[in-house]
A and B are shown apart, each in its own frame.
Chain A
Amino acid sequence: MKIDTAEHSDYMVVSIAGEIDMYSSPALRDTMLSMVKKNVATVIVNLKDVKYIDSSGIATFVEALKKMLAYKGKLKMAQVPDRVMEIFNFSKLDKVFDIYGSLEDAAKS
């Protein structure tokens, strides 16, 4: 798994590539929690190049979301691939995360 972060004027983008599973999610957790620590108002997660996500990866986003909600921050998912969307649909995570088709849509809303 590869993680890239990019800072924009009023949001940050976390781009992830590869498989997010129990072995790679600790690194993702470090990235997400470092943003939570800085009280970043909006984090957009770009999932375009994610091949698979397991429940430990989802839990990492859930933890970040819960912590961000405490300071009224927003966690947005963008460019979710079909395979990952299937997992999100099965798990009804569309009721948990805000999901957007593109990074622009996520940034605008």
Chain B
Amino acid sequence: MKNNVKNSSVASKKKKDTVTVSAGYLRDIEKKVEDLETIIEVSSIISSTLDYSRLISIVMEKAKHIMQAEACSILQYDKESNKLVSEFAITGQLVTSNVLLKDRVTFDIGQGIAGWVAEHLEPVVIKDVYLDERFYRKANQMNNFETKSLIAVPLVGRRGLLGVAMVMNSKDKGHFSDYDAGIFQTFCVQISAAIENSRFYTESVQMEKFRQGLEIASVLQKSFLPETPAFRKGNLRVSATNIPAEKIGGDIYDFLEPVSGSIGVLVGDVSGKGISAALYMAKIISDFRYKSKMIERPEVVFNRLNEGLSNSPMGMFLTASYFVVNVNTGQFTVSAAGHPPFLWVTNSGVKIMDIPSGPPLGILQYEYTSSEFTLKSGDSLLILTDGVFDAKNTSGERLGFECLVSFVKEHREKDTFVQAIIDFVQDFSNGAEMSDDITLVELKWQ
């Protein structure tokens, strides 16, 4: 009994919802369904196309077909120049993209119909372009195609304006209708998403290539530094710590034996950062190794290096200290070229060794000098680059040379005081991005 009641209720509701429509309305609905089906079909093709040129080519061909238009054009928005750039257009059966690529047409934002659409981010349907004062008449002469009517729709992605899509001259009617504009707008949503995907893909491919290039550069650069960061010769023990701020850095250290019984230790910092600093560093290391052979006097090596670097590009220079230590006596000679003072750590304290220094290498003609000292058992020399005391914390404050010296004074008795300094600098930075490379070299006389 209950079932009968229910069925009767459904039947009555069905009767109530029945609507009579005209054959013309049905035809319109059917056409809309067909058009939307075509858009969905085409969308799946374009959303899987990541190559930008190919994507634009397919999009224009399909837009022309769906809209029954004589021509289609996609104008890209160039953020840098704030202009619309027309690189591709398809007219008739002819792909004129090659012609247009050679002679790109640009529009200012606000100029012409496309410029108006880009400025107002609103679509327009124009039945007769000659009656519309926004129409830029020269556009017709530029692409050898006579536009009579058009639909122009802004292409907008998550990062803002991407461009403007236009279809020109309806093939089967005198002009486009509002219905056509609605369909084209729906299609343009799909075009925007596809263009954005393609751009993200291109950017990620470029980023990956750049990352791989940096990885290789980083490995190559490490190969310029000594194979092992620590060694012992006679009573001298040398150890180095180098932490580049980026994949590749501009700090240098090098150990060599210019003459038997002597060890040469170079610590330097190339101006700037990144690829240019790394390339310049590679040149300096190779010059240094060549020019320091058989020479015991550090000032002579600096004079020769300075001469070779005098034509450095873009004002690039090197601050450096070069030590030549006699591994039998502890006597050492040092020259400085605009490099921060080194620290002499003894049993009784820490001395800041601000020795007479010339300007950085590669700036001026200069006669460098040297200073001589002798190490005693237990003494250490600490040579560093400015990245150590210029370390910045998240509040933007810098550590400072004096603060670093105070830390060294307090912790000089620790066997692992170099590691303690690194930890101190990194704790100070407290996760802030490293702004400069850090290099610390310790010469310990045992």
A-to-B contact residues, CB < 8 Å: 21-22, 29, 52, 54-56, 58-66, 86-87, 90-93, 95-96
Q: Is B314 close to A, CB under 8 A?
A: yes
Q: Is B341 close to A, CB under 8 A?
A: yes
Question: Interface residues of B toward A: which range?
Answer: 20 to 34
In the assembled complex, which residues on chain A have CB atoms less than 8 Å from the CB atom of B358?
A: 92, 95
A54 vs B319: C-alpha distance in the bound complex, in angstroms?
Answer: 12
Number of A-B contacts (CB under 8 A): 72
Interface string of B37-48 (1 = CB under 8 A from A): 000000000000
With A58-B315, A62-B315 already in contact, 8 other A-B pairs whose C-beta atoms are closer than 8 Å: A22-B274, A54-B390, A55-B269, A59-B316, A92-B336, A92-B338, A93-B359, A95-B358
State whether A55 touches B401 (Cβ < 8 A): no
Decide: A91 near B315, CB < 8 A? Known: A54-B435, A56-B271. no
State whether A54 touches B436 (Cβ < 8 A): yes
A50 vs B241: C-alpha distance in the bound complex, in angstroms?
Answer: 31
Query: Which parts of B349-403 form the interface with A (CB within 8 Å)?
Result: 357-360, 363-364, 366, 386, 390, 398, 401
Decide: A59 near B315, CB < 8 A? Known: A22-B273, A93-B359, A95-B359. yes
When C-beta atoms are compared, the residue in chain A nearest to B270 turns out to be: A55
When C-beta atoms are compared, the residue in chain A nearest to B389 turns out to be: A90
Interface string of B254-273 (1 = CB under 8 A from A): 00000000000000011111
A90 vs B401: C-alpha distance in the bound complex, in angstroms?
Answer: 10
A71 vs B194: C-alpha distance in the bound complex, in angstroms?
Answer: 56
In the assembled complex, which residues on chain B have CB atoms less than 8 Å from the CB atom of A64?
A: 315
Decide: A55 near B271, CB < 8 A? Known: A21-B435, A64-B315, A91-B360. yes
Query: Which parts of B318-337 form the interface with A (CB within 8 Å)?
Result: 319, 336-337
State whether A58 touches B364 (Cβ < 8 A): no
Q: Is the interface of B mostly helix, strand, loop or mixed?
A: loop
A59 vs B361: C-alpha distance in the bound complex, in angstroms?
Answer: 12
State whether A90 touches B386 (Cβ < 8 A): yes
Query: Which parts of B125-142 form the interface with A (CB within 8 Å)?
Result: none
In the assembled complex, which residues on chain B have CB atoms less than 8 Å from the CB atom of A52?
A: 398
In the assembled complex, which residues on chain A have CB atoms less than 8 Å from the CB atom of B357?
A: 92
A58 vs B360: C-alpha distance in the bound complex, in angstroms?
Answer: 11
Q: Is B445 close to A, CB under 8 A?
A: no
A65 vs B364: C-alpha distance in the bound complex, in angstroms?
Answer: 10
State whether A90 touches B341 (Cβ < 8 A): yes
